[in-house]
Chains A and B, each alone.
Chain A
């Protein structure tokens, strides 16, 4: 058995053992779980990412709700034990359905079982991949002149060039992007990577051949990016030294997509070391761009304004650049989509907008 699984089993058994001992000593079973809420998240100024604070929540069998959580923990633990033993894996959704058979311990919705899996990562210091659990959706798509080695189902290593060996939709990032599965062999032809929020814009850049023209690696974020997508960006940035820029719509929610790529998200703050790329930069579309490029816009909704105001309080946006951009957006009371650039023609984004913005940033 692989070492990572053995270690996971060990750590899981520790949890069970703790409960057992507590009962044996006549105590009320309980476990300490780091609190995953906004109040327990702090910005690590040195590393520039979101991290979990020190506060913990005690889950004790004294209360029905937490007693049930402890029992669920044991059921989940047993399932993982079985999967590792049988060399099977399941998706988070499959696990949720498996839990239907757990009687008193079954979950009411998938978000509950997903969340418990995250708790177990937190308590054991393992990753859910070590538990043979994977997300429903694959990571997003990548196009550009890098070569990856991926271990396929048969255990063979395949070399794939993400420009020449793939179709128009690119290389799809698998859910496990750790070095036992995916490695990067040739990345020298890439100057920077551009992470794009929408599929429409990703396809526009592909069609216009922006990857070859600018020596860029194009990464599709698919909205809020999956863990695997963020992990690939992090690895390419850290291991291969490729600079990262993020290209999204101009609205408060897109700003948050950038923040989660760069600094991490609240829910997965304990994994920020692993997922966040604090050197990532935001290329656009900014509120100032809306004015500079005179882009077609929509009015901000009440929720948009509320989100922007929250962001003014958010340490992730506590820089002069963001403060100015957010305030500008509140001022003009407008937002815009990436594809609004098509106002000036289909090539405008690759021939004018991006070259202008990227050379300002020193990328091109």
Chain B
């Protein structure tokens, strides 16, 4: 990743920054007019989100795009971040590759872009106009505004028209306005799609998008800020030889031992000694004297030594609930029938870099049935819109036989199709991109494997859901039989014979053959009422135990009828004798603070009927009693 910076530094003598830019347009994300517009917005938004998070501010980001002339747009991005102090503004916006992020190992969005200064330069090169930046920090009651261009020969900012302005209704924040050549398109690679996907994985942000007078607001779905991330040192195990050699060469440490201890994570002095011994290299050797062969020995030694796995608490996953909220927030228009519980895998390590995979899966509703599933790819909360084909996420998805999980897939290979959206988020201190353009994740086996595992987690949930749905549909059909068809058969046959219609209950229960449980929630007067109907549609008389788990242990039960046998985290009733074709109703009321989402996972459990003969409830899990016993022990 450092290579752009290095190349730039090397070439600065010979060629201008402008030339460099022109040559590397594809890496910088300006290789097409459509993409240039997306990149312009993306650099701004990524910066804003990072800045807000660092300052623990709930982001409020405004994007404006206005067509000025043909293929010429005015783009503005404004945030409520901490603002930039006056003297730093020219450097952030007017110097390519400014800042330390190219060497830092932390999970940030910024590692994915060349920086907002590239936008300034692009605007300048394509339209000849300067970028106007306005920023205000909390400590000041006025904002600084300036026009910035780049001196492309020296890679230095040039500032004009610097002035002090009042920024009404604003406490702090940054806004830049630039003019670029571009093309505003709709579809998969649009600004809209980028912002929509950004909103999914950043449910804590409020994003307002104005283009040519139309306004879309992606509302904030949570007030919870992502956990803070920290910078970490690389881990010796799995680091590339070349990287190690470079680090050794550039190290200021005087001994190999000290180099290992201080420039890598999880290495103590004693471990460092052990590595030196195993490698057969004198621990006092100056690291800058290490040959490539020596580095290889160090790496081999590291493999033999037990090292603690890299720290992984430097990663901040989005986490299940927020992924679900984000997906719901943005996809609710498609009325999906099912949100698989999103998976956040445990952190893993590739080449010494911690990474963590998260998967979400949404199914059904108005999502298109016959097209390939939509894949939303993210790296460190930034949407990846391009190079889908060459991305580890795609490889992992294609590796799975989706047919067993209920999606269509030709021959069990390739992209599955069906009404589904799959979200893949890879968080890492160093996301393994395929190229410096940072558009796709490389096919690293450890990463693919983790993505696959996560996908299978969600896919299993989908299969369970579809099976339940199937069972439900089957029962619905049986209801039609017993409610509509059977009485008619009775009536017609009686008519033909001129007799009284026969009694139907016994035949009905034989057809149904299930205990049917229906659960209904209603909210009224600040109370949440739960009604559980238990119907015995089996030919036998049954003794049933009914269990209902409270959504939260502390949830207060306001009323319950009939009285339960037992009440703590769950309530338990005994239905002594539920005769064939009889039903029984249990009603309870909770405090009304509960929302539908809180009740999502709560289930009714029934004891006294086998799983195959039970619909709408679960049989008592095997570990139910064990769970209770553990709780009692703690008490």
Contacts and interface: CB of A to CB of B under 8 A. Distances in A.
Interface string A53-84: 00000000111100110110011011001000
B485 A23 contact: no
Contact of A104 (B488, B502, B511): B488
A67 B496 contact: no
A16 B493 contact: yes
Contacts of B511: 28, 61-62
A67 B497 CA distance: 20
B484 interface: yes
A77 B495 CA distance: 11
Given A16-B497, A67-B485, A104-B484, A75 B507 contact: no
Contacts of A294: none
Nearest to A29: B489
Contact of B492 (A27, A62, A78): A78
B163 interface: no
Nearest to B485: A67
B495 A78 contact: yes
Contacts of A63: 477, 481
Contact of B497 (A20, A27, A64, A70): A20
A-B complex: 10 closest residue pairs judged by Cβ atoms: A26-B506, A74-B492, A16-B496, A64-B477, A24-B502, A23-B502, A20-B493, A16-B493, A19-B493, A67-B485
Given A20-B493, A77-B496, A71 B504 contact: no
Contacts of B507: 22-23, 26-29, 61
B244 interface: no
Given A13-B496, A16-B496, A77-B496, A61 B489 contact: yes
A23 B539 CA distance: 14
Interface in A306-354: none
Interface of B: 477-478, 480-481, 484-486, 488-490, 492-497, 499, 502-507, 510-511, 539
A320 B482 CA distance: 56
Contacts of A71: 485, 488-489, 492
Contacts of B477: 63-64
Contact of B503 (A22, A24, A70): A24
Given A17-B493, A61-B507, 20 more contacts: A16-B497, A20-B493, A20-B494, A20-B502, A22-B507, A23-B490, A26-B507, A26-B510, A27-B507, A28-B507, A28-B511, A61-B481, A61-B485, A62-B511, A63-B477, A74-B488, A75-B492, A77-B496, A78-B496, A105-B488
Contacts of B494: 20
Contacts of B480: 64
B114 to A, nearest CB: 59
A1 B260 CA distance: 109
A62 B511 CA distance: 5
Nearest to A18: B493
Contacts of A68: 485
Nearest to A62: B511
Given A23-B502, A28-B511, A67-B486, A16 B492 contact: yes
Report which residue of B477, B486, B490, B507 has the largest number of chain A beta carbons within 10 angstroms of its beta carbon: B507
21 contacts: A16-B492, A16-B493, A16-B497, A19-B489, A20-B499, A20-B502, A22-B507, A23-B489, A23-B504, A26-B510, A61-B485, A61-B489, A70-B485, A71-B485, A71-B489, A74-B488, A75-B492, A77-B496, A78-B492, A81-B496, A104-B488
B574 to A, nearest CB: 28
Contacts of A67: 481, 485-486, 489
Contacts of A77: 492, 496
B471 to A, nearest CB: 14
A61 B492 CA distance: 14
Contacts of B499: 20
Contacts of B497: 13, 16-17, 20
Interface string A76-105: 011001000000000000000000000011
A26 B492 CA distance: 17
A128 B342 CA distance: 61
A105 B505 CA distance: 22
A19 B485 CA distance: 13
A28 B489 CA distance: 11
A26 B496 CA distance: 20
Interface string A15-48: 0110110111011110000000000000000000
B333 to A, nearest CB: 33
Nearest to B539: A26
Contacts of B481: 61-64, 67
Given A23-B489, A23-B493, A28-B511, A64 B503 contact: no
A64 B483 CA distance: 11
A232 B506 CA distance: 51
Given A22-B507, A23-B502, A23-B504, A61 B486 contact: yes
